[in-house]
Amino acid sequence: MKQRQLLKDGTKVSEIGLGCLSFAGFYGPTSEATSHATLSAALDLGIDFLDTANVYGMGKSEATIGSFLKGNADKFTIATKAGIGRDPNTGERGFNNKPDYLRGELEKSLKRLGLDHVSLYYIHRRDPDLEIEAVMETLLAFKAEGKIGGIGFSEISPASLRRAASVGPVDAVQSEYSLWTRTADLGMVQTCAELDVAFVPFSPVGRGIFGTKTPDPSQFEDTDFRKANPRFVEPNFSYNAEKVKGFKAYAADLGTKPITLSLAWCLARGDHLIPIPGTRSADHLAECAAASDFQMTDAIMAEIEQTLPVGWAHGDRYTRTQWHGVENFC
């Protein structure tokens, strides 16, 4: 497993990380034992970068990592996030980047993880009532206290990144990016490269669409994120499922798995990209890790672009509600 630079202090991590949202049952049922087996497999595969958040299962993902970390704490570089909150009265999803709220959430995350420090702390979504410069000051204070090693933002625009970076070092930006979500190509991938910021693609395997076995929406549980996702509902899903067949056949011709090829494509989009696929399964994780060994060429990249040209997918990547809080650009 090759490594890439995550933090400006030189901290490197495996170029394929592990997204731990699935530990909270976001994409189907799982158990703590299964998640622990996946974390063990990560170590065996050389994957040392974990991504989680306070809201994943309302702390369940962090707690699952925390119960595994005993004795393994120094083996992983851990990123977590805060900034998405719920109105205590209405339960409505909202955004809170105020210093007291972030401090309280960071303390709770550290407690669940059993750590006194996380390597990277992201603002999950921006709070429309606060300037990003003020949020940077809060994060810089956490860093000065030694509670966080680096600063990140999720789903922000290149313009916001520039504003944040004018206050202090921003280490990473995390946004959705994959063969069917290419918005970041319109400025974010480039701005991160220019400012020496790691770009961390989330949902890099298209929430399972690039798996050898295409997901079957009729089998999704009601709690499955994809149940209402426009790309997984008809008529979009049938189109998308048909379209990925060519890509999957090409992966088979190359003697690899489509998940492996989709992540190898991601890695080839820039040396500063560190994708974080999510899975509940050790076997699936091995297919993800294999991307680090895949020998990518310009000819293969061109063939992929022809098979899945930018903009090919039918359906939006989010529902109207889920778009709330994402900074659009271009």
Ligand X SMILES: NC(=O)c1ccc[n+]([C@@H]2O[C@H](COP(=O)([O-])OP(=O)(O)OC[C@H]3O[C@@H](n4cnc5c(N)ncnc54)[C@H](OP(=O)(O)O)[C@@H]3O)[C@@H](O)[C@H]2O)c1
Q: Which residues bind ligand X (CB under 6 A)?
A: 19-22, 27, 51, 124, 154-155, 174, 202-208, 211, 259, 276-281, 284, 287-288
Residue whose CB is less far from ligand X, 26 or 142 = 26
For the purposes of burial, counting CB atoms within 10 Å of the CB of 330, is it exposed (0-12), middle (13-18) or buried (19 or more)? exposed
Minimum gap (Å) between residue 298 Cβ and ligand X: 25
Minimum gap (Å) between residue 279 Cβ and ligand X: 3
Helix axes 298-307, 258-268, angle to 10 degrees: 110
Instruction: Say how far apart CA 196 and CA 269 lie, in whole Å.
Output: 15
Total Cβ atoms within 10 A of residue 141:
14
Is there a catalytic annotation at residue 56?
yes
At residue 186, what is the residue type? L
Residue whose CB is less far from ligand X, 127 or 287 = 287
For the purposes of burial, counting CB atoms within 10 Å of the CB of 99, is it exposed (0-12), middle (13-18) or buried (19 or more)? middle
Instruction: Say how far apart CA 157 and CA 22 lie, in whole Å.
Output: 26
Instruction: Give whole-number Cα distances, 157 to 9, 102, 181, 310, 326, in Å.
Output: 24, 21, 15, 20, 9
Which two three-digit tokens encode residue 7? 């933090």
Instruction: Say how far apart CA 319 and CA 222 lie, in whole Å.
Output: 16
**Among the listed residues 159, 139, 137, 155, the one whose alpha carbon sits nearest the alpha carbon of residue 147:** 139
171 torsion bin: left (phi>0), alpha (psi -120 to 50), beta (else)? alpha
What is the C-alpha end-to-end distance of the chain, expressed in Å? 35
Instruction: Say how far apart CA 182 and CA 46 lie, in whole Å.
Output: 28
Minimum gap (Å) between residue 40 Cβ and ligand X: 16
Residue whose CB is less far from ligand X, 78 or 259 = 259
| 193 HSE (CA, 13 A, CB side) | 11
Residue whose CB is less far from ligand X, 94 or 302 = 94
* Active-site option among 56, 121, 122, 250: 56
Minimum gap (Å) between residue 61 Cβ and ligand X: 8
Minimum gap (Å) between residue 22 Cβ and ligand X: 5
Minimum gap (Å) between residue 80 Cβ and ligand X: 9
Residue whose CB is less far from ligand X, 15 or 51 = 51
Catalytic positions, please?
Answer: 56
